[in-house]
Amino acid sequence: MRWRLYCKSWFAFSHRCPPGLTWSLVLFPGLYLLPFLIYFTGWSWLYLFPVIVIPVAKKWREFPIVLFAFSGGGPLRWETTDGNKQSVGESQNLIWITSAHNPDGDQVWLSRCQLWCLWHVQLQWPLFFAISIYIKHEDVIPTGTKADRDGKLLFFYKGWHRDSDQIFWGDGAYAGRNWK
């Protein structure tokens, strides 16, 4: 997978990038329905193009927009740019939030690793979807702390996530039993 290091930046965007275009790979939405479509209609040429390449502006906003986020059994976890501070969300159900600030006034974004709630579902713009659920209720980490929970949860994300390096990376998807 070393070849990915050379082309990974082709598919990233950020407020720190120079103006121009980057390339966003999007799976064809009907990919899983295609076998049925081909069987009933004979459109076999669709299998040749399962991925669509969309140009996106490299210069992008610094913080993602939370379109919606739901959690259960605990508060949502927010992160600051320096990565050292974590904040607790005040609401369990969030809908169409464009920007959020912690009590110190720092701009924050919703973390993909929701350590403190039993389950969560989130959708952010640029397109990012994440869902997590702890297998046992007693495995949930107490609010404000961090601990290793490998093998004690189910976690899935897909899309372009913001890392602490302030860049949105489009690295496909992940499904597993630990945080990534």
- Kindly indicate the confidence band of residue 100, based on its pLDDT and cuts at 50, 70 and 90: confident
- Taking alpha carbons only, the member of 127, 98, 15 closest to residue 62 is 15
Residues 100 and 132 in one domain: yes
Residues 78 and 16 in one domain: no
Q: Which residues contact residue 41 at a Cβ distance below 8 angstroms, ignoring those fewer than 6 apart?
A: none
Residues 41 and 82 in one domain: no
pLDDT digits (tens, 9 = 90+) for 121-140: 998 887 889 999 999 999 99
Residues 72 and 160 in one domain: yes
Residues 51 and 87 in one domain: no
The number of domains in the chain is 2
Residues 135 and 94 in one domain: yes
Return d(Cα 123, Cα 149) in angstroms, integer: 23
From the CB of residue 180, how many other CB atoms can be counted at a distance below 10 Å? 12
Answer whether residue 35 shows pLDDT above 80: no
Q: Is 112 exposed, middle or buried (0-12, 13-18, 19+ CB in 10 A)?
A: buried
Residues 70 and 52 in one domain: no
Out of 57, 74, 90, pick the residue that ends a domain.
57
User: Which range marks the domain in which residue 40 is found?
Assistant: 3-57
Residues 74 and 131 in one domain: yes
Residues 151 and 92 in one domain: yes
Return d(Cα 167, Cα 41) in angstroms, integer: 42
Return d(Cα 76, Cα 91) in angstroms, integer: 8
Residues 111 and 160 in one domain: yes
Instruction: Give the side-chain half-sphere CA count within 13 A for 141.
Output: 18
- Kindly indicate the confidence band of residue 177, based on its pLDDT and cuts at 50, 70 and 90: very high
How high is the pLDDT of residue 176?
92
How high is the pLDDT of residue 28?
47
Q: Please give the backbone phi and psi of residue 34, each rounded to the nearest 5 degrees, phi first.
A: -60, -40
How high is the pLDDT of residue 99?
66
Return d(Cα 88, Cα 106) in angstroms, integer: 13
- Kindly indicate the confidence band of residue 93, based on its pLDDT and cuts at 50, 70 and 90: low
